[in-house]
Amino acid sequence: MRILHLDPDDMGNPLSGGGPVRTYEIYKRLARRHEITVLTPTFEGSTPDLHRNGIRYLRLGRKIRDHGSSHHITYLMSLPGAVRRFDHDLLIEDFMPPASSTWTPWFRHRDRPLIASVQWFFARAYTEKLKLPFHWGEEYGVRMYDHFVVLTEAMRDRIRGRHASANCRVIANGVDEALFQTAAAPGQGILYLGRIEIAAKGIDLLLAAYARIPEAERQPLTLAGTVQEPAALQALIDQFELQRWVSVLGPYDAASRLRLLESCRFVVMPSRTETFGMTIAEANAAARQTIIWDRAPMNEVASPSSPRVRAFDVDAYAAAMRELLGISAPQLTQLGEDTRLHARRWDWDAAADAQENFYLEVMELHQRGLRSSGRT
């Protein structure tokens, strides 16, 4: 089967999130049996054509002068020609900014099936920021697609709330097997992992909560990940007088992630919005509790013992951190073992098998529909 995948991001991009990691992990397994091409935007340092473990990555669009969004806009503009130009049997489209859905259903080959992969579903934030109705793409644009891969039951409910007849398959992310080999005994300090984006990732809420912990009870807080707004981040650290308590490490690789998780006491994940929450799954696999807001999909992904806090209640988040700082190491180790057992459900091999099976099912459904309409 020839699979053409439209991905608005790439794991080589320093500003990328978890979506392109999923694309790579799934397809490096499926590439043993299928021909896979992934179309992504350009980014600083990208090459026009790249092969990773049997997957071909091709870049579309370009950056125009210093316009920060030009690579993404030109990528979107390039898609109609690219989809018509590259031979494929199955087309996969990752939902992308600014409206989640795109115009792909209008220009695709009608004799080949299309599946929407819901890695991004935050159009309302763009509506509020730019004062344009991008959220209509989520409210109405999803109805142009028949088949969906979603990461959580919560997202399946959201899609079906807008498109009742949608064929949705829940296929969660996996985690690196090496995380399950880390020591369960807790280290020292509090860890945040992921893109350091103040509003979306709730860094402002985290720092406000951390500042409420009495100094006598605190352990250092480490923020690891690409910083999106360095000046605004430093202003928050200064505002809460946390200069000697908070360390910002910047980007990390898989080996660094392993060391950071093994050396910390627990993980904080204060995101306002997510489509899955890879950090939660990774921390739980490493036997670390993760404090989250009690809202979907984070509360679906986190282990039962990971603390859930009423959404955006900063005082309650501070109390949850104080509790994990105060319990004994043997108690935290036992919680970690239970958490790791729960995280065994996040498996890349199982995800790849499930995704391949869904692809084949959709291909068969599509061929059946063509036969019944007399088009084959």
- H helix runs in the chain, sequence order: 19-30, 70-85, 104-107, 123-130, 136-139, 153-162, 203-211, 230-239, 254-263, 278-285, 298-301, 314-326, 329-343, 348-372
Residues 6+ apart with CB under 8 A from 139: 162
* Residue listed under structure tokens 């991004």: 120
Residues 251 and 361 in one domain: no
Residues 7 and 147 in one domain: yes
* Residue listed under structure tokens 């409910």: 157
Predicted confidence at residue 375, as pLDDT, reads: 63
Predicted confidence at residue 374, as pLDDT, reads: 67
CATH of the domain at 274: 3.40.50.2000
Residues 335 and 186 in one domain: yes
Residues 120 and 185 in one domain: no
Residues 158 and 207 in one domain: no
Residues 6+ apart with CB under 8 A from 337: 184, 287
Residues 170 and 199 in one domain: no
Each residue's pLDDT tens digit in the chain (376 positions)? 999 999 999 998 887 888 999 999 999 999 999 999 999 999 888 899 999 999 999 999 876 766 557 778 899 999 999 999 999 999 999 999 999 999 899 999 999 999 999 999 999 989 998 899 999 989 999 999 999 999 999 999 999 999 999 999 999 999 999 999 999 999 999 999 999 999 999 999 999 999 999 999 999 999 999 999 999 999 999 999 999 999 999 899 999 999 999 999 999 999 999 999 999 999 999 999 999 999 999 999 999 999 999 999 999 999 999 999 999 999 999 999 999 999 999 999 999 999 999 999 999 999 888 777 766 5
Residues 144 and 185 in one domain: no
Residues 159 and 220 in one domain: no
Predicted confidence at residue 207, as pLDDT, reads: 98
Predicted confidence at residue 68, as pLDDT, reads: 59
Between the alpha carbon of residue 222 and those of residues 28, 191, 244, 246, 282, the distances in Å are 32, 5, 11, 6, 16
Residues 190 and 335 in one domain: yes
Residues 154 and 294 in one domain: no
Domain that holds residue 152: 2-174+348-372
Predicted confidence at residue 69, as pLDDT, reads: 72
pTM summary value: 0.91
Predicted confidence at residue 67, as pLDDT, reads: 57
pLDDT tens profile 293-307: 999 999 999 999 999
Predicted confidence at residue 368, as pLDDT, reads: 87
Residues 114 and 215 in one domain: no
Number of domains in the chain: 2
Q: Are 194 and 225 in contact (CB under 8 A)?
A: yes
In this structure, the strands spanning 2-6 and 35-41 are: parallel
Residues 146 and 230 in one domain: no
